Amino acid sequence: MTPGPSYEGWLPGVESLCYGGDYNAEQWPREVWAQDVRLMTEAGVNLVSVGIFSWVRLEPRPGEYDFAWLDELLDGLHAGGIRVDLATPTVVPPAWFFRDHPEARVVTRDGVPLGPGSRGAAAPSSPQYRAAAARITTELARRYGDHPAVVLWHVHNEYGAPVGWDYSEHALVAFRRWLADRYGGLDALNAAWGTTFWGQVYGGWDEVALPGPTPTAGNPAQLLDFARFSDEMLRELYRAERDIIRQHSDRPVTTNFMAGTHLGTDLWRWGQEVDVVANDNYLMAADVDNHVGLALSADLTRSVAGGKPWILMEHSSSGVNWQPRNVAKKPGEEKRNAFSHVGRGADAVLFFQWRASRFGAEKFHSAMVPHAGTDSRVWRELVELGGDLAGLAALRGTRTVADVAILWDYESFWAQDLDWRPSVDLRHREQVEAYYRRLWHDGVTVDLAHPEQDLSAYRLVLAPSQYLLTAAGAANLTAYVASGGTLLVGPFSGIVDEHDAVHPGGFMAPLKDVLGVWVEELLPLREGETLTVTHGDATLEGRVWADHLRVTTARTVGTYATGPAPGLPAITRNEHGAGTGWYVSTVLDGEALRTVLADVYADAGVVPAAPGAPETIVRRGADADYVVAVNHADHDVDLELPGGPTVVRAGDVAVFEVER
């Protein structure tokens, strides 16, 4: 293989894929530190994250700093050739902070302040917290801004987890300020929130409250704005620390996202703020096919990064500790996981954490050095993985190829999650995942996309669940089809605008032209009820949802045979301009979805992989493609390459360089 291209915005001086993990050295005595550097070298580790939870060790009393231990640690790592991703420790303020500022704690919706002894307890809008965080960040950035070991800054940790919503008095003050900025005046707020409903009109800013506990459902527009506000408070925290660092350091700055699991932070906005995108990914143990969820997380991360390489900042060598049943990884499973991440754009593979903690809440979380030590399967596999990654330097900076997109929109998710929707069974995440899973099995690599972004590069765009769709978003989708694109829309899409108000003209009105249908009435099903759709010679089973559809210019492709709308259209296809708009008005599973998508693929010119093919992703370099193949089956599988067929062994991975 030839080396990959150099590229802007990556970690300075790092010429290979990165490998390593969180290194919470303060939990261990000095004699372990020296042993750690030796073991890191043995495993091929070249990057560790340091200091994430170290605030109290760096500032043991207000304004008193102790950097000696960190100096020693960084120097030791540097001497051992290990580069450092240095964290600001602001995710856990010291106990003295909460003693001095009990009002700076996060408060639950029911008014319960959340205490220390855990993590994430500081109220994002607290001026006291912001000031304290700025002070420690300034001290750190000043001292280590030019440290030769430091190649990256890791601001805070997993913003928004475990809690992102705060109902403290500080939050109330900040919410009113944020609303005043957003709306300018109360008339605009009253209009946006529809306060004539249930007589909620506000006459003064001091009347506006947080969306706390109410006797019954609250104002949905207020709740949606509170979600936006809460996310924005976190970004204010991030930006403040980032800007301080930039005054003292030229190293890139990031923070670790949780693309696969956390929907509270709008990563489309966060992606604009970081120098390089980083993500934490953990398998959901209850799902036996959780490598599909991993792929979705990785594809979303890459999409948030605008296609550029990204850092897998945390994942696990084996089981985690916070799920109900923390299943360990099987032999070979971690290797497959790591290669799937790399195939989908990761240029760094890091773990939480280097060495398993003996104490604390996460001691049952796996690590690179497990409790059993180095005489263990986990350690032996990670040493091997380190060697494998070292051999893949050519992939660095190459771009993953995807020409299909699935819409992913946090604001729509937030709005759909509010109370009193037509059916609790229509869950946005489930709808998106059902389509994603089908495409994964069809070997189609996808980007996730925002409905208002440029979609022209995609052959096919799917909107399985787009409840909230702005007029601008609808216009964008319509223009995309008019220009030749293929669009598929799932049920309960295009319902409300950015204020959770039903679009004038009724449900799905903004998509009427592009889809050639409109929705007269929503027809959710009872729990467990099914219906059937006649589709050519086939009978498809649907669940959860139907519409009373009214066709204007579309052609009916599938017709309800049973259920709440017998004889009415269920699946429609509309030619609009140079492209095609499909509407699928019910929830289809497995084979039914394959049947429908076959026609949609044909419209879009998408060619699915042969059934049973390995997971295959292409990273495109300047002169060559790198085909990353991951075989999740327990038998060898054939793979077609431009140069002819090859074999990927049972449970194994392979990377093939294909000249272009």
Q: Is residue 647 involved in binding a copy of itself (CB under 8 A)?
A: no
Q: Catalytic one among 59, 139, 158, 411?
A: 158
Applying CB under 8 A, the span of 230-238, 306-314, 326-334, 648-656 interacting with a copy of itself comes to: 326-334
Q: Is the peptide bond before 162 cis (omega within 30 degrees of 0)?
A: yes
Contact (CB, 8 A) for 459 and 557: no
If the CB atoms of residues 118 and 247 are measured against a copy of itself, the closer one turns out to be 118
Residue 441's H or E segment, with its range, is helix 428-441
Q: Is 649 annotated as a binding residue?
A: no
Q: Is residue 360 involved in binding a copy of itself (CB under 8 A)?
A: yes
Q: Is 119 annotated as a binding residue?
A: yes
Q: Is 428 left (phi over 0), alpha (psi -120 to 50) or beta?
A: alpha
Indicate which single residue of 143, 248, 548, 594 sits in contact with a copy of itself (rule: CB under 8 A). 548
CA dihedral 128, 129, 135, 140 (to 10 degrees): 170
Q: Give the DSSP letter string of 77-113.
A: HHHTT-EEEEEP-TTS--HHHHHH-GGGB-B-TTSPB
Q: Is residue 578 involved in binding a copy of itself (CB under 8 A)?
A: no
Contact (CB, 8 A) for 88 and 79: no
Q: Is 520 designated active site?
A: no
Indicate which single residue of 1, 14, 134, 163 sits in contact with a copy of itself (rule: CB under 8 A). 163
Indicate which single residue of 221, 385, 439, 653 sits in contact with a copy of itself (rule: CB under 8 A). 221
Distance CA 150, CA 252 (A): 10
Q: Is residue 432 involved in binding a copy of itself (CB under 8 A)?
A: no
CB of 96 to a copy of itself, least distance (A): 6
Indicate which single residue of 9, 12, 81, 111 sits in contact with a copy of itself (rule: CB under 8 A). 111
Indicate which single residue of 3, 12, 81, 115 sits in contact with a copy of itself (rule: CB under 8 A). 115
CB of 573 to a copy of itself, least distance (A): 22
Q: Catalytic one among 314, 381, 411, 615?
A: 314
Tokens, residue 184: 């300018």
Tokens, residue 400: 């993953």
| Ranges within 182-201 binding a copy of itself (CB under 8 A) | 193-194, 196-201
Q: Is 322 annotated as a binding residue?
A: yes
Distance CA 335, CA 137 (A): 36
Applying CB under 8 A, the span of 67-75, 352-360, 471-479, 617-625 interacting with a copy of itself comes to: 352-360
Q: Is residue 332 involved in binding a copy of itself (CB under 8 A)?
A: no
| Ranges within 451-490 binding a copy of itself (CB under 8 A) | none
Q: Give the DSSP letter string of 601-658.
A: HHHHT--PPPTTPPEEEEEE-SSEEEEEEE--SSS-EEEEETTEEEEE-TT-EEEEEE
Q: Is the peptide bond before 35 cis (omega within 30 degrees of 0)?
A: no
Per-residue binder mask for a copy of itself (CB under 8 A), 222-251, x = binder: x-----------------------------
- Going by the DSSP 8-state scheme, the letter that residue 525 receives in this structure is P
Q: Is 158 designated active site?
A: yes
Please give the positions annotated as active site: 158, 314
- Known binding residues for substrate are 119, 157, 322
- Known binding residues are 119, 157, 322
